[in-house]
């Protein structure tokens, strides 16, 4: 049993954006391992074989029923589990153990599943994540044989955060329409079924959170699916902030200020499912397509053809609309074995983002080729940008590579203070920039964004960060070129008018934030935004910057 956790912060991997606060409910433990010592008499073994066969049929029927009720990726994953339950090899292996060794039906299924698990685990990568599927089917068949209830997602009348070691696909898919508002698991990766379905359902989720099952049931949890943190019994003001952010406000698909000045509101996505969700939420396009989700948990880079298919899935959701694609942003907290195999003492300052092309130029060239092919096959307006640019030479080399590949709209991320300071020179090379406020704050304040105790430093309201954004905005205005924000700050309704006043021309965020940001912008005209920005820039601390901007905005409300 893990030690009980009554307070503090757990850290894992954020796989589905959003923040939510609700009481913790722990998933019921799995069925106990059936007795290995029991031996079935030869004359009774036919009954045990029959029990296995009937149980497998019953489980397949149950999963078929769930599949019929599900949609999208959840449906595909559930159907895969149904096929596992119907797998003649699994059933044959289990019945052979009954006939030859006298295992009980439950024990035989357990051992046969273990052999299949071992085979999948040996394959590594995404196949290894199917182990959870095998265990789920195993437990369902055993529960059917023993005629006991199958542990699963509990039913509650009030919202809750579900905490588990891991979640089976059938359990994760059953969350749709229920009271579960967030997910936390000790195991799992960014391409696990838990992650995929959490994103498709819009549930904030953190996986790989060591110690999660030690959380005391009923504890209030604040789950941040962007930062990958789980706060146990956080302060009341943090809870209030998260609950306000969790309210989904409808967006009509047109971001604009009170005077009609357009401010396109775009979505951050990681794949086709995210893009479909964003399109249904009326996002005006994609401001950040994180292509690394197509690479994660791979031991080798995907082929150009595989990449083309993955990219087209996103582009197809926004015909005729802008889709800004960020090239591979591996390294630091997102290492890839084929790109970041070396140990680095300071990975956030190491070979990450565009710097990977220094050692593996073919990775970048293949990705640009795939993007060009995907863009040619779809009607979306594709723009491509590089992460982690620090010098003019890096930007020039990237732009040359993109244009040589047939990609005409080229930009860069502004994540380093160097790039912000060089914005005037960079605009002579690129067509647009997008500010990654999470990393810009990290590098400006020299504060690791993964350390929760430095959370006050990783704040876009820090005056140093705002002044760098303002410098980029001024350079964009002078060059007549777009300045986007795709970091966490882009989805903050209080900060949105300030960013526009600083010269930001578009904002990109999780789809759930679109309506709230649109509502905030609709209350301010261009003059108000500039006054709020000027007030924030003149502040000496983050708290003073917030207060100064709030005073300007409050005057508009009073007026």
- Tell me which residue has tokens 């090239």: 327
Query: Which parts of 124-233 fold into alpha helices (H)?
Result: 125-128, 131-146, 169-173, 193-201
Instruction: Report the 10 Å Cβ neighbour count for 446.
Output: 9
Neighbours of 215 (CB within 10 A): 25
Strand, coil or helix: 480: coil
Q: State how far the Cα of 128 lies from the Cα of 117, in Å rounded to an integer.
A: 8
SS3 208: coil
- Give the largest Cα separation in the chain, rounded: 89
Q: Residue 529: CB partners within 8 Å, gap ≥ 6?
A: 257, 497, 498, 500, 501
β-pair type (205-207, 13-16): antiparallel
Of the chain, the end-to-end C-alpha distance in Å amounts to 59
**DSSP 8-state assignment for residue 129:** T
Q: Which H or E element spans position 288?
A: strand 285-290
* Angle at CA of residue 227, ends 224 and 229, nearest 5°: 55
Cα 522 from Cα 502, distance rounded (Å) = 17
Which residue in 180, 294, 402, 486 is the catalytic one? Answer: 486
For this structure, is 557 an active site residue?
A: no
Closest among 183, 141, 175, 137 to 156, alpha carbons compared: 175
Extended beta strands in 360-486, E state? 381-386, 410-414, 432-435, 483-485
Q: What is the DSSP letter of 355?
A: G
Q: Quick one: CA torsion of 207, 384, 470, 554, rounded to 10 degrees?
A: -60
Produce one character per residue of 516-539: b if its CB has 16 or more CB atoms within 10 Å, e if not: bbbebbeebbbebbbbbbbbbbeb
193, 294, 402, 529: the active-site residue:
193
Q: How far apart are CA 203 and CA 218, in angstroms?
A: 19
Map residue 318 onto helix, strand or coil: coil
**Which residue matches tokens 């209830």?**
149
Angle in degrees, 0-180, between the axes of helices 542-558 and 526-537, rounded to the nearest 10: 150
Sort strands 322-326 and 381-386 into parallel, antiparallel or unpaired. Answer: parallel
Per the annotation, the verdict on 486 as an active-site residue is: yes
**Which residues have a catalytic role annotated?**
193, 486
């Amino acid at each position: 049993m893990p030690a009980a956790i009554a307070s503090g912060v757990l850290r894992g991997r954020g796989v589905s954006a959003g923040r939510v606060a609700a009481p913790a409910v722990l998933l019921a433990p799995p069925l106990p391992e059936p007795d290995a010592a029991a031996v079935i008499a030869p004359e009774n073994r036919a009954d045990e074989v029959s029990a296995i066969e009937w149980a497998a049929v019953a489980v397949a029927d149950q999963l078929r029923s769930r599949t019929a009720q599900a949609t999208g990726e959840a449906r595909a994953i559930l159907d895969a589990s149904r096929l596992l339950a119907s797998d003649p090899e699994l059933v044959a292996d289990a019945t052979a153990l009954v006939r030859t060794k006298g295992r009980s039906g439950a024990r035989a299924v357990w051992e046969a599943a273990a052999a299949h698990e071992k085979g999948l685990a040996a394959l590594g990568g995404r196949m290894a994540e199917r182990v959870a599927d095998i265990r789920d089917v195993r437990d369902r068949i055993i529960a059917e044989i023993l005629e006991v209830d199958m542990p699963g997602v509990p039913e509650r009348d009030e919202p809750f955060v579900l905490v588990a070691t891991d979640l089976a696909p059938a359990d994760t898919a059953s969350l749709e329409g229920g009271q579960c508002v967030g997910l936390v698991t000790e195991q799992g990766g960014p391409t696990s079924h838990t992650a995929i379905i959490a994103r498709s359902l819009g549930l904030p989720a953190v996986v790989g959170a060591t110690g999660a099952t030690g959380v005391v049931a009923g504890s209030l949890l604040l789950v941040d699916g962007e930062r990958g943190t789980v706060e146990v019994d956080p302060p009341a003001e943090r809870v209030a902030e998260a609950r306000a952010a969790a309210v989904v406000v409808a967006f009509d698909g047109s971001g604009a200020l009170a005077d009609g000045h357009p401010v396109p509101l775009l979505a951050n996505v990681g794949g086709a499912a995210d893009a479909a969700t964003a399109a249904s939420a009326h996002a005006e396009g994609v401001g950040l397509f994180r292509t690394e989700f197509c690479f994660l948990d791979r031991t080798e880079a995907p082929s150009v053809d595989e990449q083309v298919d993955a990219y087209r899935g996103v582009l197809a959701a926004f015909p005729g609309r802008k889709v800004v694609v960020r090239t591979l942003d591996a390294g630091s907290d997102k290492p890839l074995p084929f790109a970041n195999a070396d140990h680095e003492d300071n990975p956030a300052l190491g070979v990450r983002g565009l710097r990977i092309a220094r050692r593996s130029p073919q990775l970048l060239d293949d990705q640009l080729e795939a993007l060009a092919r995907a863009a040619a096959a779809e009607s979306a307006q594709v723009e491509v940008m590089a992460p982690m640019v620090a010098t003019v030479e890096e930007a020039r080399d990237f732009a040359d590579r993109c244009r040589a590949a047939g990609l005409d709209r080229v930009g860069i991320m502004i994540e380093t203070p160097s790039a912000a300071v060089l914005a005037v020179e960079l605009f002579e090379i690129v067509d647009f920039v997008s500010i990654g406020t999470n990393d810009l704050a990290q590098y400006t304040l020299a504060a690791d964004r993964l350390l929760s105790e430095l959370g006050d430093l990783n704040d876009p309201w820090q005056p140093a960060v705002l002044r760098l954004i303002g410098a980029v905005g001024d350079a964009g205005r002078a060059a007549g070129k777009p300045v986007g924000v795709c970091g966490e700050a882009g989805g903050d309704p209080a900060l949105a008018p300030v960013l526009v006043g600083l010269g930001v021309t578009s904002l990109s965020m999780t789809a759930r934030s679109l309506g709230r940001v649109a509502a905030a912008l609709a209350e301010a005209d261009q003059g108000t935004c500039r006054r709020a920005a000027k007030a924030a820039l003149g502040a000496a601390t983050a708290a003073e910057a917030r207060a100064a901007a709030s005073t300007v905005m409050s005057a508009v409300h009073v007026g």
